[in-house]
Amino acid sequence: MKNRLLSLVAAIFSLASVLTAKDQRPNILFVFSDDHAPHAIGAYNGWLKSVNPTPEIDRLARGGMLFEKSFCSNSICGPSRAVIMTGKHSHKNGFMNNGNSFNWNQQTFPKLLQKSGYQTAIYGKSHLKGRPQGFDDWAVLPGQGMYYNPDIIFPDGRRKVDGHCTDVVTDLAVDWLKKSRNKSKPFMLMVQHKAPHRCWMPALRHLKLYNDKPLPEPETLFDNYQDNAPPARHQEMEIDRHMDPNYDLFVDLTADFDGTPIQQRQDRSARNNMKRMTPAQMKAWRAHYGPRDEAFHKANLKGKALVRWKFQRYAKNYLRCVKGVDESLGRLRATLKELDLDDNTVVIYSSDQGFYIGDHGWYDKRWMYEESLKMPFIVNWPGVTKPGSRDTHLIQNLDYAETFLDIAGAKIPADMQGHSLVPLLKGQSPKDWRTSIYYHYYEYPSFHMVPRHYGIRTERYKLMHFYRFGNEWEMYDLKTDPDELQNLYGKKGTAKLAADLKKQLRALQKHYEDDSDISEQPMEWQNKVRPKTAGQ
């Protein structure tokens, strides 16, 4: 009897120990920026590597795994986020363009993580509208948010927070880690930056960055789109024709806000951001840009010289915004180390899609061409990812939700459409891994006038169909033509390849159950409807 009693007491103490012990499943820190192209990350070895734009992100890659063939499913801000939240393509989660509102009542990975015992939090740009669900704590930007002294929506209301947006978001995340985290639970912390989204307004400390010499130019800066289908020639995103010196590049914009005419379709975000600046902030901006504006006017640049000037001003401001994001990652990782959390936290860096930094003479995203289709994905999982490793499997943002759940040991719902990347993170190469990815962009007619299109990308080839811009196709051999300058569709000897890719494309549409909008009558480009305002 005495032995039984002792055994019972021991069992009770053992159970109590289990119940009170800290959950040792890994934490997840997901740092997510907006419009950060992989070729603006040193570790991706793009044409901007020479200016060392991202030392902290590069350090993350050296300690973990970098995915070289990482793609989005719909290259636009809100829809990309909705895909990540749900693990479902845009036509399944209901958020196909930025004009939609996300249905927060649907299944999302943060809700599933909560049910599995994780504490969840999100700070920064949500861009999904509505009050976030599935998070124990949150503070998000309204819409695109502002770069300087942004309004932040908290659970108890909206208020302005002084500072540069990247720093403000980082402060909120660091404060949560230090003061609000439940130490008995693992966490999923999402830190989502506005930068480097348009209108590319860096923090004061970064205004002089890259002043000493010009940035390298992309080889395709003066692409004339002659071998593309008509859509590429009828967009509104060229540095030459569409990037405004005032409202995109701040020329004279710091001088006076009153009485300045604004074109009907001109982006106003820079003007609206500057209205929020304090006198000290504005003084610093005027001191920096004033002399440069004066030199610009004296130069009276035309033609290619003007395009080159606009590119330099744009690209430098873009990279200055990237610098703030890079510093944020470094600060977050330092906080994890300070709190002794670094050895049990999976740190992930990504962005919602790629971006054109003068590539093909463009800015913005939306297209299925490589520069906007590619998105960075870098994972440092201590004890799991091999330091300095590079994976070449085809992955998408469609896979993120499943990966987060798998890391947490939570069940992955059968209706999610992606795949967990955990086997790849462990260095495995599943025999049944996908051999192609599916893409579908819907936002047309709208900002930048990129027509709706869908397509397939395999390891080597890409086929795109602009189905509401007449009936236009493009096809590329990415091995021999990585810049996608030679449209093979309709060329002699390519009919069999096109037929095979079309067959694979239809199979993907069937697999993902996508018949959304595809059967609509084509819209001729001559009759396209312009939006009233431009620029998001």
Same domain, 501 and 381: no
Report, as an integer, the average pLDDT of 333-351: 98
Q: What is residue 525's predicted lDDT score, i.e. its pLDDT?
A: 41
Radius of gyration for the chain, computed over Cα atoms and rounded to the nearest angstrom:
24
Q: What is residue 531's predicted lDDT score, i.e. its pLDDT?
A: 43
Residue 123 covered by a domain: yes
Same domain, 403 and 453: no
Residue 267 has pLDDT above 90, yes or no: no
Q: What's the domain range around 257? A: 29-431
The answer to whether the beta carbons of residues 437 and 144 sit under 8 Å apart is: no
Residue 274 covered by a domain: yes
- Provide the pLDDT confidence category of residue 20 given band limits of 50, 70 and 90: very low
Q: Which of 134-143, 453-462, 509-518 has the lowest mean pLDDT?
A: 509-518
Residue 296 covered by a domain: yes
Residue 230 has pLDDT above 50, yes or no: yes
Same domain, 73 and 197: yes
**Nearest CA-CA partner of 256 in 284, 276, 273, 275:** 275
Report, as an integer, the average pLDDT of 371-382: 98
Q: What is residue 262's predicted lDDT score, i.e. its pLDDT?
A: 52
Structurally, the chain folds into a number of domains equal to 2
H helices of 232-302, in order, are: 269-274, 279-299
Report, as an integer, the average pLDDT of 60-85: 98
More confident residue, 371 or 259: 371
SS3 395: strand
521/171 Cα distance (integer angstroms): 50
- Provide the pLDDT confidence category of residue 370 given band limits of 50, 70 and 90: very high
CATH code of residue 485:
3.30.1120.10
Q: Tell me the residue type at 26.
A: P
Residue 528 has pLDDT above 80, yes or no: no
**Among residues 365, 396, 431, which one ends one of the domains?**
431
- Provide the pLDDT confidence category of residue 532 given band limits of 50, 70 and 90: very low
CATH code of residue 365:
3.40.720.10
- DSSP characters for 100-119? S---TTS--HHHHHHHTT-E
Distance of CA 450 to the CA centre of its chain: 18
Report, as an integer, the average pLDDT of 338-359: 98
Mean pLDDT of the chain: 92
Residue 7 covered by a domain: no
Report, as an integer, the average pLDDT of 367-388: 98
Q: What is residue 118's predicted lDDT score, i.e. its pLDDT?
A: 98
